[in-house]
Amino acid sequence: SNDPDPGPGNGTDLVVVPVTLTVRPPTAVALTDLAAGVEQMPAPLSGLPLATLPAAAAAALGAAFVWRRNRD
């Protein structure tokens, strides 16, 4: 660079990036149904199109593979 001021971004390796970190307290999540022992009903399989079955099976196998790989 022919710039007389070889500052950040003018042909040098030094780059200054301003960063601001804001930390806030976590938000509360209401788990009243789960805490009361109310069980959720499973999704009815009769409502799913048959064409989604291979995709769901592939997603389940992929998730199991990733889970097992992360355990080792």
pLDDT 10s digits, 1-52? 566 666 665 566 666 678 898 988 878 776 666 555 656 666 666 666 777 8
Given pLDDT bands bounded at 50, 70 and 90, which one contains residue 61?
very high
The residue with greater pLDDT, 32 or 68, is: 68
C-alpha span between 68 and 71 (Å, rounded):
5
- Pick left, alpha or beta for residue 21 (phi over 0 → left; psi -120 to 50 → alpha; otherwise beta): beta
Contact 15, 9 (CB under 8 A): yes
C-alpha span between 30 and 64 (Å, rounded):
29
Q: What is the DSSP letter of 65?
A: H
Given pLDDT bands bounded at 50, 70 and 90, which one contains residue 63?
very high
